Amino acid sequence: MPTPSFLAGQAYAVDPGTHSYNNLYGGPTIALIVDVLGKSNPSGVTYNGVAMTLAMAYAYTDSFFLESYYLLHPPVGTYNIVVSGAGDGAVHARTYKNVKSSSPIGNTASAENTAVLNTPEVTVPSDVTELVLCASAHEGRLTNNMTPASGQTERLESASGFSDTGLMTGDEAGATSVATGRWNGANYLTGTNNGTIAYGLKYGASGGAQILIMATRRWQEFMRDLKHGLVPPDTLRRRYRELVTI
């Protein structure tokens, strides 16, 4: 089953302000995802001066903020990611392909917990053609050695600029109900606050795949009309002239 898929990514620690990101991939189904962990509430993110769209945000009890932004069909090349108003924290940038070219965000979920070794797990109702993206923060982080729960794939991990807090981002295949965002904390101190955000990223066929899908559907329509004999030959020829001459 086709789904969005990960292409590349880069993690930036300590200062969420301005960071250079080299996007190697172009096309209408490419999406740039930027996740922000901030000590202050971020006021926006741009890439190459273009405002990115907020996918979801959550403000946690212990005064840190997790937000995720996306930009469809980002330009190819090296440009700046600029995060405004986040204070100390961390930024992760990820590029995905086969993303729906409009309204690509599905269901969302978020949660927090305190004084435990693992980040909270959330359940995201999704579709088998979706990829569920997650970002988790943990205070009391010791080393870059987080372990994702079963079914999840860790993409990026980094320290942040405050309170020994770490940012972890990853993804998991969609299904009717996907539990994601749980990162096992064997190397954590007991955290004062942990949080997770997650959402479905919808599938969109690439240009070649879209053409194939349309051609297959057109041929199926032709065979249906031909089989049932409900369309006069002249009309059938005009309607499906790109497929066959009768």
189-246 pLDDT per residue, tens: 455 677 889 999 999 976 555 555 556 666 777 777 777 777 787 776 776 665 654 4
Which tokens in the block code for residue 67? 């937000």
**Residue 79 near residue 216, CB atoms below 8 Å:** no
Pairing between strand 18-23 and 44-47?
A: unpaired
One DSSP character per residue, 65-115 reads: EEEEEEEESPPSEEEEEEEES--SEEEEEEEEESB-SSS-EEEEEEEEE-S
127-186 pLDDT per residue, tens: 889 999 999 887 765 555 667 777 888 899 887 766 667 888 999 988 877 777 666 654
pLDDT at 90 over 80: yes
Which tokens in the block code for residue 131? 């990829």
The C-alpha atoms of residue 178 and residue 223 are separated, in whole angstroms, by: 39
Q: Is the pLDDT higher at 181 or at 81?
A: 81
Identity of the residue numbered 96: Y
Quote the pTM value: 0.79
Nearest to 149 by CA among 186, 121, 113: 121
pLDDT at 14 over 50: yes
**Residue 95 near residue 25, CB atoms below 8 Å:** yes
93-126 pLDDT per residue, tens: 999 999 999 899 999 999 887 666 667 778 888 9
Phi, psi of 129 (to 5 degrees): -90, -5
> What pLDDT shows up at residue 64?
80
